[in-house]
Amino acid sequence: MNEIENVYGETVEFYDLSALSQIGNKKIVLNKFADMVKDLDGIILDIGAGTGKTTIEMANMICDKEIIALEPSAYMRTAFMARLMEHNEVKERISLLPIDVGKYSFRDKISGVMCMGVLGHLKRDEQEKLLYKLDKNLNINVPILIELLEPKFLVAPVGSRISVATQGRLRYETYITDIKQVGMDQWTWRLTYKVFCGKKIVSTVDSLMSWNYQSVEKILNQLTKMHFRTAKLSETLLLAIKAR
Ligand SMILES: C[S@@+](CC[C@H](N)C(=O)[O-])C[C@H]1O[C@@H](n2cnc3c(N)ncnc32)[C@H](O)[C@@H]1O
């Protein structure tokens, strides 16, 4: 298994339920992004589309746009495809490519880019390369929506419960059971997913995750030095628009 499969392999079943990246105003932001891209020419590129939740939401917000979703994890793609089959209204407009963004050719004309929860998976030089590629290949006025990790996860005490959700008679809880800063911007976490039926544990799954953390400000700064106008939308969301 490659690194990404290690992270999401055993835990993909918990991904949507634990939805670590959920924030209240995300839907409003997605709507605004849809408004910005709807009159521009080209596809929407969704980098690291995961289980497809946001991709399908976006496809429903703009009814005549094609979306190209990139997702290197076969586990994530399996969840994505299962969800897509339930969405006849959008499935002809979504192509799910089994590649990482480093392999994407940028030959399509692009009207908008979503990069939600992905940058932290890339090494520092890969992050920079991606931002340069976007700078080089996007036309004027094309927006990029980027979501980063909530900074509170960097300082969460070991043992913190970071999500709880129920499904049927089962309760799913996620804990940070280890956290280490292993480089200047690099962190590793052990997340432990516990499934309960009443007080009884039904299963426990550990997952190791390494993350190259950059703050919203740092990414904004890099994009501003290129050809983008930028705006911080929240602690985790930022928008960049190709300006020249
Ligand atoms: C935290 S999930 C976010 C999924 C989705 N965008 C969301 O907001 O729910 C990060 C996703 O990025 C994918 N990913 C990791 N490295 C990638 C790369 N180099 N290129 C494209 N996707 C990548 C992972 O497989 C995973 O599905």
Domain ranges of the chain: 3-150+215-242, 151-212
Residue 47 Cα, ligand 1 centroid: separation in angstroms?
A: 7
Region 112-127: what's the mean pLDDT? 96
Specify the CATH number of the domain 3-150+215-242.
3.40.50.150
Long-range contacts of 191-199 (CB under 8 A, 24+ apart): 191/11, 191/162, 193/11, 193/14, 193/18, 195/170, 195/171, 196/170, 196/171, 196/172, 197/169, 197/170, 197/171, 198/169
Nearest to 59 by CA among 69, 50, 73: 69
Region 175-185: what's the mean pLDDT? 95
Region 203-230: what's the mean pLDDT? 95
151-212 domain in CATH 2.20.25?
yes
- pLDDT tens, 66-80? 999 999 999 999 999
Neighbours of 100 (CB within 10 A): 19
Region 147-176: what's the mean pLDDT? 94
- pLDDT tens, 7-49? 788 899 999 998 755 555 688 999 999 999 999 999 999 999 9
- Residue 72 near ligand 1, beta carbon < 6 Å: yes
Residue spans of beta strands (DSSP E) within the chain:
43-47, 67-70, 94-97, 110-116, 143-147, 161-167, 170-181, 186-197, 200-212, 228-232, 237-242
- Residue 131 near ligand 1, beta carbon < 6 Å: no
Q: For the chain, what is the mean pLDDT?
A: 94
Residue 42 Cα, ligand 1 centroid: separation in angstroms?
A: 22
Region 164-193: what's the mean pLDDT? 95
pLDDT at res. 3:
73
- Residue 211 near ligand 1, beta carbon < 6 Å: no
Residue 233 Cα, ligand 1 centroid: separation in angstroms?
A: 21
- Residue 177 near ligand 1, beta carbon < 6 Å: no
How many CA atoms, within 13 angstroms, populate the side-chain half-sphere of residue 160?
A: 13
What is the distance between the terminal CA atoms of the chain, rounded to a whole angstrom?
Answer: 42
Nearest to 68 by CA among 48, 86, 95, 28: 95
According to DSSP, the residues that pair with 115 across neighbouring strands are 146
Q: What percent of the chain has pLDDT over 90?
A: 88
- Contact (CB, 8 A) for 77 and 46: no
- Residue 118 near ligand 1, beta carbon < 6 Å: yes
- Residue 30 near ligand 1, beta carbon < 6 Å: no
